[in-house]
A and B are shown apart, each in its own frame.
Chain A
């Protein structure tokens, strides 16, 4: 594979990774809304969220590997692991490294969720709200195609999708199917405490 093929693969994999990560964030946010229908059970949203997240990690790894082995930039493996250690576009590549490591932490803790407990998993999972914007900034800062029309369209669609899903989450609180039962339970407990 020659240098230009690696370079084009890096750019293509970067764009695909952005789309996949955006889809993961949207599905993750939508899963909290507990949407379901007769043909779309709730586990389908969470299952897709998990599967596409794992797929995104693979394509992100491809994006990183092709960038590192590209002899034009001479990035080296250290730049892929240690943020802001690259001589080449230090800040913007550092953002990409941080976003990738946050994603690794989120993915790894999701895979061992049963071991670390729900509270710790949830706390770490909130990092995804930081990981995704950092990844977008990385793309804006160092992407060769940032100002290309097609890449601007992809960026716009991804940002609109994530912003829309977050707005939906804020506006439409997730319905709690046990809300009435919880209220009754609290009422009974408070009555007993008063007596």
Chain B
């Protein structure tokens, strides 16, 4: 490509092709293809969020406390787990302000 004659030929070919209406139409269509593809991909990602939100709003699933569920009581720096029914420690006896109890089950389908 360093040869002057080669550069001249390539340059001429590029200029001629760029003015060809068919080439311009093809390039425009290729750009449109890329734009539509990107739009579809981003739209699909946004739609997952939208449909997920709508599905969560319409059928959020049943959240209920389960008798046999495991309670996890977190205090500062230590965590102890025990069954609710057999627990000898009540939540109200915790001296920590940050008490988290988990014992819920979420049911639903696919």
Contact = CB atoms under 8 A, between A and B. Distances in A.
A187 interface: no
A55 interface: yes
Interface in A136-151: 142-145, 148, 150
A3 B107 CA distance: 10
Contact of B51 (A11, A51, A75, A142): A11
Given A41-B25, A52-B37, A144 B109 contact: yes
Nearest to B55: A11
B33 interface: yes
A22 to B, nearest CB: 13
B106 A148 contact: no
Interface in A9-51: 9-13, 15-16, 19-20, 23, 38-41, 43-44, 47-48, 51
| A interface, over-half SS | helix
A10 B44 contact: no
Interface in B4-42: 25-26, 28-29, 32-33, 36-37, 40-41
A134 interface: no
B35 to A, nearest CB: 11
Contacts, number: 100
Given A41-B26, A44-B32, A72-B106, A51 B37 contact: yes
Contact of B47 (A19, A43, A70, A93): A19
Given A41-B26, A72-B108, A13 B36 contact: no
Interface in B55-108: 55-56, 58-61, 106-108
A16 B47 contact: yes
A100 B49 CA distance: 22
Interface residues of B, number: 30
Interface of A: 3-4, 7-13, 15-16, 19-20, 23, 38-41, 43-44, 47-48, 51-52, 55, 59, 62, 67, 70, 72-73, 75, 88-89, 93, 142-145, 148, 150
Nearest to B109: A144
B88 to A, nearest CB: 29
B51 A16 contact: yes
Given A20-B44, A40-B29, A52-B40, A144 B51 contact: no
Contact of A55 (B40, B53, B58): B40
Contact of B110 (A3, A40, A47, A67): A67
A150 B25 CA distance: 39
Contact of A12 (B26, B50, B106): B50
A41 B60 CA distance: 45
Contacts of B53: 8, 12
